[in-house]
Amino acid sequence: MNVFMTGGAGYIGGVTAEILLGSGHQVTVYDNLSRGHRAAIPSGAMFINGDIGDRTTLRDALSSADFDIVFHFASLIEAGESMEKPALYFRNNVSHSHNVIELASEVGCGRFVFSSTAAVYASSEQPLTEESPIDPANVYGETKLIVERMLTWYQRIHGLRFAALRYFNACGALPGRGEAHYPETHLIPRVLQVALGQRDHVNLYGTDYQTPDGTCIRDYVHVADLAEAHLLAATALEHNDTLLYNLGSGRGYSNQEIIEMAREVTSHDIPVDPVDRRHGDATRLVASYEKIQSELGWEPVHSQLHNILSTSWKWHSKQPHLYDDA
Ligand X SMILES: NC(=O)c1ccc[n+]([C@@H]2O[C@H](COP(=O)([O-])OP(=O)(O)OC[C@H]3O[C@@H](n4cnc5c(N)ncnc54)[C@H](O)[C@@H]3O)[C@@H](O)[C@H]2O)c1
Catalytic residue among 11, 30, 121, 140: 140
Please confirm, yes or no, whether 140 is among the known catalytic residues: yes
- Do 78 and 55 meet the contact criterion of CB atoms below 8 Å apart? no
Shortest reach from residue 249's CB to ligand X, in Å = 13
62 near ligand X (CB under 6 A): no
Per residue in 161-185, is it b (16+ CB within 10 Å) or e — as a string?
A: bbbbbbbbbbbbbbeebbbbbeebe
Shortest reach from residue 267's CB to ligand X, in Å = 26
DSSP class of residue 181? -
Size of interface with ligand X, in residues (CB under 6 A): 29
Closest CA to 191 of 251, 268, 120: 268
Phi and psi at residue 185, in whole multiples of 5°?
-115, -5
**3-state SS class at 110:** coil
Closest CA to 219 of 294, 304, 320, 162: 304
191 near ligand X (CB under 6 A): no
**3-state SS class at 14:** helix
51 near ligand X (CB under 6 A): yes
Quick one: which of 47, 73, 154, 315 contacts ligand X (CB under 6 A)?
73
270 near ligand X (CB under 6 A): no
Q: Which stretch binds ligand X (CB under 6 A): 17-25, 71-79, 123-131, 150-158?
A: 71-79
33 near ligand X (CB under 6 A): yes
* Residues 100-159 close enough to bind ligand X by CB under 6 A: 115, 117
Nearer to ligand X, 268 or 304 (CB): 304
- Measured in whole angstroms, the distance separating CA 282 from the mean position of its chain's CA atoms is 17
Site string for ligand X, 11-30 (x = CB under 6 A): xxx-----------------
CB under 8 Å to 25, separation ≥6 — which residues? 1, 2, 3
Strands 253-254 and 217-218, by their bridges, are: antiparallel
2 near ligand X (CB under 6 A): no
Shortest reach from residue 207's CB to ligand X, in Å = 22
Question: Torsion-angle region of residue 203: left (phi > 0), alpha (psi -120 to 50) or beta?
Answer: beta
Shortest reach from residue 118's CB to ligand X, in Å = 6
Nearer to ligand X, 2 or 34 (CB): 34
Shortest reach from residue 269's CB to ligand X, in Å = 26
Quick one: which of 20, 70, 77, 234 contacts ligand X (CB under 6 A)?
77
32 near ligand X (CB under 6 A): yes
Q: Which stretch binds ligand X (CB under 6 A): 45-53, 105-113, 126-134, 209-217?
A: 45-53
Rounded-to-integer distance, Cα 81 and Cα 141, Å = 12
* Residues 150-179 close enough to bind ligand X by CB under 6 A: 167, 169-170
Nearer to ligand X, 139 or 170 (CB): 170
Helices (H), the chain: 11-22, 55-63, 79-84, 86-89, 96-106, 139-158, 187-195, 223-236, 255-266, 290-296, 305-318
Mind telling me the catalytic residues? 140
Binding interface with ligand X (CB under 6 A): 6-7, 9-13, 31-36, 51-53, 73-77, 92, 96, 115, 117, 167, 169-170, 181
